[in-house]
Amino acid sequence: MHLLSIPPLIMSAITFYTAAYYGIVFFKSKSNPINLTFSLMCFAIGLYDIFCVGNYNSTSSIQGYEWQRMQIFSISLVGIGLWWFICSYTRINNRIANVFVSIYFSVCALVEFFDRSDLTWKIDQPLVKTFEIFGFSITYNEVAQG
């Protein structure tokens, strides 16, 4: 495991713990939907952090591509969770907007999860990025967007 992938691993543990805590709080009381939406949003963010760890540890652009796909998939889930959290927190109940945003992010997630064509990513165009933070060299293996 690459040394610099440890911070996102720690962040994922914290967000999964937070998701579990607020999920338990919701299922014990079931009176406040904010706890459930916050829990689901934290779970999606934890998935993103795990996929970041995988991408930081990838050794080729093909490996990085799979992790990159999953990162964008989880960002779509974060979008759904964030939307519903904001709506439940502010008590805004616009049914048309809720349905539209949920369908939009769900379609984005499904396309990212199942599509293997050049629509989303061009696996024949690797983009290897190398940069330094505090003297540590990080190589980020990814591919071009479709």
Q: What is the pTM of this model?
A: 0.86
The alpha carbon of residue 75 and the mean position of all alpha carbons in its chain are separated, in whole angstroms, by: 4
- Cα 133 from Cα 56, distance rounded (Å): 14
Give pLDDT tens digits along the chain (146 positions).
Answer: 777 788 899 999 999 999 999 999 999 988 888 999 999 999 999 999 999 999 888 888 888 888 888 999 999 999 999 999 999 899 888 889 889 999 999 999 999 888 887 777 777 788 788 888 788 777 777 777 77
Radius of gyration of the chain (CA): 17
How many separate domains does the chain show? 1
Domain that holds residue 135: 3-145
- CA distances for 43 relative to 32, 39, 85, angstroms: 18, 6, 13
Say which amino acid occupies 113: F
